[in-house]
């Protein structure tokens, strides 16, 4: 049987009592410990600062945990005037628990902009324009080439972002009881011409916080130096629409983002956004592969994408 390259996340349960003792040895004052999916997380204080401890639960996950740590560092190496609308946690420390990587970073104390699957508040709806501006700031970031984040990504296997989108979408589509060939052909036809830019990789509203008027963005596990141009835009649109039942705000977000583009980028916006939208859409179908009702509910979105009716 062929091994899937883009499987569902796995996790290993970590002994929380042992972690509690380990945290004490680090000087971390623990309030609570949780384990969801592939990370164990502890909240408390470290060296007098509000902090979060994040531990990979498997060796396979550790590369993503380390990537998040490097992303945080890299963002703080960029000039603040180039990212006036957003920030990320400041890293405090890192190391290993056995062979598993962990880091300790700044904890954002406010509530996230939205909980998973919850409706958007009116206050957050008013910040959609700022989120669009933040998205564009990430795309235009100049990440220092001597940062660990940049060096690590330069060393990884060089596969074009178009090929990566196609491979993931094709693998997921093979597990969905629907014919998705028309969607896959769009990615196939564009895979060699997609531009790249920095990307957070999991750009969702439940990972955003108010930090003195800026937007604090957490969980950069999937951040990349050369993500597909407008990938974060596609992710944010899909999540607003499918997770928060906010099609109006999702469309407004696209228009607010479009207004920030140069004339050249406006001309190519839909052609560059569509392949990423399709990859994210197929990802949602894959997640609902055993739920016929959910698959039927997602059909309209697919038709709007394939027929160029999103904007």
How do residues 232-273 score in pLDDT, each as one tens digit?
999 999 999 999 999 999 999 999 999 999 999 999 999 999
At residue 22 the predicted structure's pLDDT band, cuts being 50, 70 and 90, is: very high
Among 5-9, 63-67, 237-241, the minimum mean pLDDT is found in 5-9
Do 68 and 181 fall into the same domain?
Answer: no
At residue 3 the predicted structure's pLDDT band, cuts being 50, 70 and 90, is: low
> Is residue 3 included in any domain, yes or no?
no
Does pTM top 0.85 for this prediction?
yes
> Is residue 27 included in any domain, yes or no?
yes
Do 141 and 233 fall into the same domain?
Answer: yes
Digit-coded pLDDT (tens) for 136-174: 999 999 999 999 999 999 887 678 999 999 999 999 999
Digit-coded pLDDT (tens) for 86-120: 999 999 999 999 999 999 999 999 999 999 999 99
Of 106, 137, 172, which marks where a domain is finished? Answer: 106
Do 78 and 202 fall into the same domain?
Answer: no
Do 142 and 270 fall into the same domain?
Answer: yes
Do 142 and 48 fall into the same domain?
Answer: no
> Is residue 266 included in any domain, yes or no?
yes
Do 201 and 167 fall into the same domain?
Answer: yes
> Is residue 114 included in any domain, yes or no?
no
Do 129 and 86 fall into the same domain?
Answer: no
Output the average pLDDT for the chain: 96
pLDDT score recorded for residue 156: 75
pLDDT score recorded for residue 155: 81
> Is residue 295 included in any domain, yes or no?
yes
Digit-coded pLDDT (tens) for 209-224: 999 999 999 999 999 9
Is residue 80 pLDDT above 60, yes or no? yes
> Is residue 69 included in any domain, yes or no?
yes
HEC states along the chain?
CCCCCCCCCCCCCCCHHHHHHHHHHHCEEEEEEEEECCEEEEEEEECCEEEEEEEECCHHHHHHHHHHHHHHHHHHCCCHHHCCCEECCCEEEEEEECCEEEEEEECCCCCCCCCCCCCCCHHHHCCHHHHHHHHHHHHCCCCCCCCHHHHHHHHCCCCCHHHHHHHHHHHHHCCCCCCCHHHHHHHHHHCCCCCEEEECCCCCHHHEEEECCEEEECCCCCCEEEEECCHHHHHHHHHHHHHCCCHHHHHHHHHHHHCCCCHHHHHHHHHHHHHHHHHHHHHHHHHCCCCHHHHHHHHHHHHHHHCCCCC
pLDDT score recorded for residue 12: 82
- Give the CATH number for residue 167: 3.90.1200.10
Do 101 and 128 fall into the same domain?
Answer: no
> Is residue 115 included in any domain, yes or no?
no
Counted domains in the chain: 2
Do 219 and 99 fall into the same domain?
Answer: no
Is residue 1 pLDDT above 50, yes or no? no
Do 149 and 204 fall into the same domain?
Answer: yes
pLDDT score recorded for residue 164: 95
- Give the CATH number for residue 57: 3.30.200.20
Of 73, 106, 139, which marks where a domain is finished? Answer: 106
User: How much of the chain exceeds pLDDT 90, in percent?
Assistant: 93
> Is residue 165 included in any domain, yes or no?
yes
Do 97 and 36 fall into the same domain?
Answer: yes
Of 41, 71, 106, which marks where a domain is finished? Answer: 106
Do 92 and 154 fall into the same domain?
Answer: no
Domain ranges, residue 258: 122-306
Is residue 189 pLDDT above 60, yes or no? yes
Digit-coded pLDDT (tens) for 48-57: 999 999 999 9
């Amino acid at each position: 049987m062929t091994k899937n390259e883009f499987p569902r996340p796995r996790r290993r349960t970590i002994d929380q009592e042992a972690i509690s003792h380990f945290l004490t040895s680090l000087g971390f004052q623990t309030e609570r410990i949780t384990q969801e999916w592939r990370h164990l997380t502890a909240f408390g204080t470290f060296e007098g600062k509000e902090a979060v401890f994040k531990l990979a639960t498997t060796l396979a996950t550790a590369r993503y945990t380390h990537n998040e740590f490097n992303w945080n560092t890299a963002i703080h190496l960029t000039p603040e005037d180039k990212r006036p609308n957003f920030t990320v946690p400041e890293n405090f420390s890192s190391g290993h628990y056995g062979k598993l990587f962990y880091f300790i970073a700044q904890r954002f104390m406010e509530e996230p902009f939205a909980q998973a699957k919850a409706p958007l508040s009116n206050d957050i709806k008013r910040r959609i324009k700022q989120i669009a501006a933040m998205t564009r700031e990430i795309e235009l970031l100049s990440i220092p080439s001597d940062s660990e984040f940049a060096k690590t990504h330069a060393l990884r296997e060089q596969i074009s972002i178009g090929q990566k989108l196609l491979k993931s979408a094709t693998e997921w589509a093979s597990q969905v009881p629907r014919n998705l060939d028309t969607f896959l052909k769009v990615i196939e036809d564009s895979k060699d011409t997609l531009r790249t830019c920095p990307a957070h990789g999991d750009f969702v509203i439940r990972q955003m916080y108010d930090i003195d008027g800026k937007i604090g963005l957490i969980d950069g596990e999937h951040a990349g130096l050369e993500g597909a141009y407008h990938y974060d835009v596609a992710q944010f649109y899909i999540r607003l629409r499918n997770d928060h039942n906010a099609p109006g705000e999702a469309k407004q977000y696209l228009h607010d983002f479009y207004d920030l583009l140069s004339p050249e980028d406006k001309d190519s916006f839909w052609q560059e956004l569509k392949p990423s939208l399709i990859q994210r859409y197929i990802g949602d179908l894959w997640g609902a592969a055993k739920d016929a009702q959910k698959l039927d509910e997602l059909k309209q979105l697919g038709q709007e994408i394939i027929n160029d009716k999103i904007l």
